[in-house]
Every structure is written in C-alpha cells, then in structure tokens.
Structure 1
Amino acid sequence: MVQQAPVVIEYKGLKLEETLRLDLLVEGCLLIELKSVQDILPVHKAQLFSYMKLLNVPLGLLINFHEPKLTSGIHRMMLPGSSGK
C-alpha cells in the first residue's frame, strides 16, 4: 500500500516531479480517495480521475464518510479502456 506517491509530470517537454496527495494506492491497481464532505462534487471525482490517469491505475474508489449509510457514499470509477479487473 502506498500513500502520497511521487510522480513525474511531463508537459510540453518540461518534467516536474511532484508528490501526489493520494490517500491509498492498493497493489498498483486500485486508488482510494477518502472524503468526509456534505456532498461529493465534480471536483472530487475529477481529482480521483486525474490521479488515476497520472499513475495509470485502472480502478478508483471515492469514499465519503459523511453519509448515514457508508455504502451510499462509495463511488466507483474506471479509466476508459481498462478491463476493470
């Protein structure tokens, strides 16, 4: 399990090494982003999706702990073209 993984970002020939503030990366194939917010906003999903693309991780879970029933706060995301296994 990895937390706050370093990643190299390349843009127009410029390479930057940044540390992503991801919550959990499991076995290199599942990225978990944890929140405790009133509502999941598009920006929360965009953050998870960006991390998934940068790290080439096929599956992501966005989990919001601010829900009366935890299963209502789980959002699953898949990168386009991935098998989702």
Structure 2
Amino acid sequence: MLESIYEWCLTMELQLRDHMVQNQESVIIRYKQFQREEPLRFDLLIDRCLFVEVKAVETVHPIHKAQLLSYMKLLDIPLGLIINFHELKLTDGVSRLILPGANSE
C-alpha cells in the first residue's frame, strides 16, 4: 500500500483514542527574531511530543533517520519513530530516535 494510506489509517486510530494529531504540516524555522515557513512536511506529530515518519520501503536508510532527526531538532520534539510498514513483522520496522534535552521547559 501507499505510505499515505498507512499514514491516514494511523491518524484515524490515534484520533479515535483522543490523541491530538497534526499531519503534513509545513515546518516553521525560527532563527533569533526571524522565522520562515519551509515546504518541509512531516508525516505525524502526536500530542506535540512524538514525531512519526511513516514508510513503506524495502529498507530504511540513514537519510530517513537524518530527516526525522532534523524535524525533531527544528521543532524541539524529544521523541521520534520511523514505522516501516513494508516489514513482515511490524515490530521489526520500528526505529526510535531520542533527542536529549528537547522540550525541557
């Protein structure tokens, strides 16, 4: 199936469980007193504390993890998951990233 279908189904399941889900939103970059909206779009941001990148690929490459880590840094989000639905066993397709010190107010 297409990544967009997996993303939509995951969004619906999370919303049914009363989670706040933002998806396919532009990233706003802030630097000192300046900001700009970038055309970079993340898959899912859940409860403002967890990014999820949905994949349906044969192999998750380091660039996929680097992209997720960039989103985490830009928006100060402490946790990230890459979920690759192309795996036979879904748990084999989950990668977790942690950004130490993020979102610590």
Shift of 1:18: 1.5
**CA RMSD, 1 decimal:** 2.2
Is 2:42 the counterpart of 1:35?
Answer: no
**5+ unaligned residues in a row in structure 2: which ranges?**
1-20
2:90 counterpart (52, 70, 83)? 70
**5+ unaligned residues in a row in structure 1: which ranges?**
none
Q: So what's the TM-score if we normalise by structure 2? A: 0.69
Shift of 1:5: 2.5
Instruction: Give the distance between the partners of 2:46 and 2:32, measured in 1 at CA.
Output: 30
Instruction: Give the distance between the partners of 2:73 and 2:25, measured in 1 at CA.
Output: 14
Instruction: Give the distance between the partners of 1:82 and 1:17, measured in 2 at CA.
Output: 21
Cα 1:12–1:58 shift into 2, 3 Å: closer
Shift of 1:55: 0.9
- Indicate the residue corresponding to 1:80 in structure 2: 100
Is 2:73 the counterpart of 1:57?
Answer: no
Query: Contact 2:76/2:102 (CA < 8 Å) preserved in 1?
Result: no
- Indicate the residue corresponding to 2:11 in structure 1: none
Instruction: Give the distance between the partners of 1:55 and 1:20, measured in 2 at CA.
Output: 12
Query: Contact 2:43/2:52 (CA < 8 Å) preserved in 1?
Result: yes
Query: Contact 1:61/1:75 (CA < 8 Å) preserved in 2?
Result: yes
2:44 counterpart (7, 21, 24)? 24
